[in-house]
Chains A and B, each alone.
Chain A
Amino acid sequence: MRKTLFIALASALAVSAVATADTKLPDDVLVNPDFDVRTAWPYPKANSGEIEWRPHGRDLTQWITLSYEDKRGIPEPATVRFNGNVKGNVERGREIATHVRKGNCVACHAIPGAAQTGTAGPSLEGYSTRGVPDSYVYQMLHDPRALFPETVMPAFGAMNNLTEQEIHDVMAFLKTL
């Protein structure tokens, strides 16, 4: 009896459009392999008993999830060395810093000219006048945990959020603030 019910429930769940084709991913992650961006989310369309699955703006499957089947970890904090000059594009840097799917620096930091900013991190207004060395900014963007082990700031370089070029772009943008 218990088994029958369990199978009934399992098959009820299986009819959803969401399936995990990638065997490396845990079974309980919300992905739809048919989407260009596999990461899916459930839209509860009005007056329906079925969920409408929609693609998220960014594929998030490469990072660890809350699933118990997920055995992945994160990189240990690492010190990086900065050599040479900042070779970045200010406009691209601004786009990365303010875009929710990219750097999203504004979520936590006040940035002049940006809307809906946050207070979790210090304001970046006048950042270029504070005499912060490039090597420090680079370390903070690449992996701030090396300097502040408990920081809530993401490791943008070490955790594959931003490319080397994008980090340079953000550094160039910070020099204009």
Chain B
Amino acid sequence: MSGLLVTMLLTLGAAGVYLAMPRGRSHVTGLAMILVAGLAVAGIAGLLSNLGVSSGTFSGFTMFGALAVLSAVRVITHERAVYSALYFILTIISTTALLLLMRAEFLAIALIIIYAGAILVTYVFVIMLAQQGGAVPAFDKQAREPLVGVILGFVLLSTLASRFFQPSGAAAAETVKQSGGSVEVGTHLMTQYVVGVELAGVLLLAAMVGAIALARRKAPPLAEREIDAC
């Protein structure tokens, strides 16, 4: 795939994300989403055909990659925080499908259990606690400098993509080893990286203690005076 084509695809994608950003009254989400969807499918399918991968075999990758990108766009552009969290669950499920295509079964199941089962439940719980009522608050309707953010993000992405398409790069090794099952991952984890496992346990314990200590702290009386003054 030529560099000009990649640049055009990235520019159109940036325009779609910019149009989908919440910008007060004037954003056109439906049109922008159609634009981003078409670009995601066309870009990934074109990428696969350009790399000489037969299209029938990897339609799963095209579908789930496009789904992951689309739901990620909705995560960062949706006005309501609850819907952002739900679209993020869709992103997680698509990522899990991509990991299954790479035969990382243990990591895929762990991702679903930890992210969709634990982390996202915490997020939705905090959203329910903090944003009750039907109206969308004003700060959610207006993104902060969406044009600058989108331009900076896609400069970053085009830099990364130009690295990927260098000829000396990744196309060299296409070896596929039929391993990576749970047994091998567990053995690897518990022999070579056993110190890391212990450190991760200590980190989780410290995070748990810290979270309890933070969330149990009473708000100082200054906050009440401030609320009364408002």
Q: Are these two chains actual partners, yes or no? A: no
